[in-house]
Amino acid sequence: MKELSIYIHIPFCEQKCIYCAFVSYCVNNEIKNKYFQNLKKEIQERKTDREISSIYIGGGTPSCVDAKYIKEILEEVYANYNLKKDIEITIECNPNSVDEEKLKVYKNIGINRISFGVQSLDNDTLKKLGRLHNKDQVVCAINNAKKVGFKNISVDLLLGLENQNIQDFEKQLQELIALDITHISAYMLEVEEGTKLFSMVENKEINLPIPEKTIEIYEKTVNFLKKNGFFRYEISNFSKIGYESKHNINYWKCNEYLGFGVAAYSYFEGYRFSNSINFNEYENKENLLYEKIDNRERIEELIMLGLRCKFGFDFNEIIKLGYDIFLNDNFKKYLDKNILIKEGNWIYLNPDYYGVSNSIICDILP
């Protein structure tokens, strides 16, 4: 039986970042208390006998709430689900909202992986992004995590920021690597409608680099990280050997997952469903999305997610679902040019073309 993961959404933040399009809110303690009561109830009601391989607590900013809430939620999971012995349990944290004591609580309740939202080590850039931490707090948070016993520490960084250049970015990478982290996620900054960043770009309050410049920084970042022992296993994700994110891999392999909380998505037993983004609707189980995944959607997901990472996709599985991909002229062309690589039953994207993967993937979809 395939892997099953759990995602738990904590939709609270101290302050909304200018680029953030995630479902997150700045609310009072009364709303938080009520939310966590509903979250525990949902976890109880949807229990399954399937074994759980990973738990990911994301947001929002999970670390901005009292650690007692995280403890209560995990205890509810422990009481209702079967967990693998080597389960990976991740929590997202902002450097300014954790101290040594909070990290101790996380460690003691079974969390074994920390993902810090660093984004940049440049204080001026952090301020402009709406981040509440600075470089010193990043260093302190990572050192505190190591001090209390965390060995699996990831950081998120953004590419494509205003005035970003490869020299400064490599210096930041080197400083983070020196802190003995094990995983780096380097995401391209996306300007999404409805965010403050979108308005700032429209009004020319901020000038982002052209895409070609960002791709150049990305490609040099890949080489720099490889030289320093961090290997790319997905377009934006790099790790030391053995420290790949189990949770993300489960998603990229199109395995099943259960999502709990406001706006959380699930994929389970052939169906995709999600909760409302509204607190009251979530409490009352209103406006749920519930749909059967048809073969075409399954094919598209297997191709898109498989080619974003080193795992690729099994073309026999695609054919069984009703799409003979070898009849696609673009697919044959990409194979001939070594843009796509065939090894046995598996198709991989040549890593040299990760920077333009979207257009390649679109060309070979049914």
In a domain, 289, yes or no: no
> How much is the pLDDT for 1?
64
Q: Smallest Cα–Cα separation from 8: which of 70, 95, 101, 87? A: 70
Q: 242 Cβ partners below 8 Å, 6+ apart?
A: none
> How much is the pLDDT for 24?
78
> How much is the pLDDT for 288?
84
How many angstroms separate the CA atoms of 94 and 26, rounded? 15
Residue where a domain terminates, one of 251, 277, 306: 251
> How much is the pLDDT for 286?
84
Residue 242 three-state SS: coil
Token output for 325: 């991909």
The answer to whether 267 touches 297, Cβ cutoff 8 Å, is no
Instruction: Let me know whether 192 and 127 are in one domain.
Output: yes
Instruction: Let me know whether 338 and 227 are in one domain.
Output: no
Q: Smallest Cα–Cα separation from 118: which of 84, 101, 93? A: 93
SS (HEC) of 110-168: CCCEEEEEEECCCHHHHHHHCCCCCHHHHHHHHHHHHHCCCCCEEEEEEECCCCCCHHH
How many angstroms separate the CA atoms of 349 and 338, rounded? 9
The answer to whether 3 touches 250, Cβ cutoff 8 Å, is yes
How many angstroms separate the CA atoms of 125 and 112, rounded? 30
Residue where a domain terminates, one of 199, 222, 251: 251
Token output for 72: 């209560």
The answer to whether 228 touches 240, Cβ cutoff 8 Å, is no
Would you give the DSSP letter of residue 241?
Answer: T
Instruction: Let me know whether 53 and 111 are in one domain.
Output: yes
Instruction: Let me know whether 228 and 307 are in one domain.
Output: no
Residue 304 structural domain: 295-366
Residue where a domain terminates, one of 223, 251, 279: 251
Instruction: Let me know whether 134 and 203 are in one domain.
Output: yes
Would you give the DSSP letter of residue 12?
Answer: B
Instruction: Let me know whether 232 and 345 are in one domain.
Output: no
In a domain, 209, yes or no: yes
Token output for 119: 């984004």
Q: Which residues of the chain have pLDDT under 50?
A: none
Q: 151 Cβ partners below 8 Å, 6+ apart?
A: 112, 182
In a domain, 362, yes or no: yes
> How much is the pLDDT for 15?
86
Would you give the DSSP letter of residue 240?
Answer: S
> How much is the pLDDT for 276?
93
In a domain, 54, yes or no: yes
- H or E stretch at 350: none
> How much is the pLDDT for 41?
96
In a domain, 286, yes or no: no
Instruction: Let me know whether 194 and 324 are in one domain.
Output: no
Instruction: Let me know whether 50 and 161 are in one domain.
Output: yes
Instruction: Let me know whether 179 and 119 are in one domain.
Output: yes
Q: In this structure, what is the dihedral angle of CA atoms 240, 242, 243, 246, given to the nearest 10 degrees?
A: 140
> How much is the pLDDT for 22?
78
In a domain, 112, yes or no: yes
> Which strands form 340-343's sheet, in the order they lie side by side?
313-314, 346-349, 340-343
Q: 276 Cβ partners below 8 Å, 6+ apart?
A: 262, 263, 282, 286, 287, 288
Instruction: Let me know whether 98 and 209 are in one domain.
Output: yes
Question: What is the per-residue pLDDT across 120-147, written as a single tens digit (0 to 9) for each?
Answer: 999 999 999 999 999 999 999 999 999 9
In a domain, 159, yes or no: yes
How many angstroms separate the CA atoms of 366 and 360, rounded? 13
CATH for 340: 1.10.10
**178-215: string of b/e by CB count within 10 Å (b at 16+)?**
eeebbbbbbeebebeeebbbbebbeeeebebbeeeebb
In a domain, 191, yes or no: yes
Q: Tokens 């696609």: give the residue.
A: 328
Instruction: Let me know whether 238 and 301 are in one domain.
Output: no
CATH for 178: 3.20.20.70
φ and ψ at residue 300, rounded to 5 degrees: -60, -45
φ and ψ at residue 331, rounded to 5 degrees: -60, -45
Instruction: Let me know whether 41 and 110 are in one domain.
Output: yes
The tally of domains found in the chain comes to: 2
**Displacement of CA 341 from its chain's centroid (Å):** 26
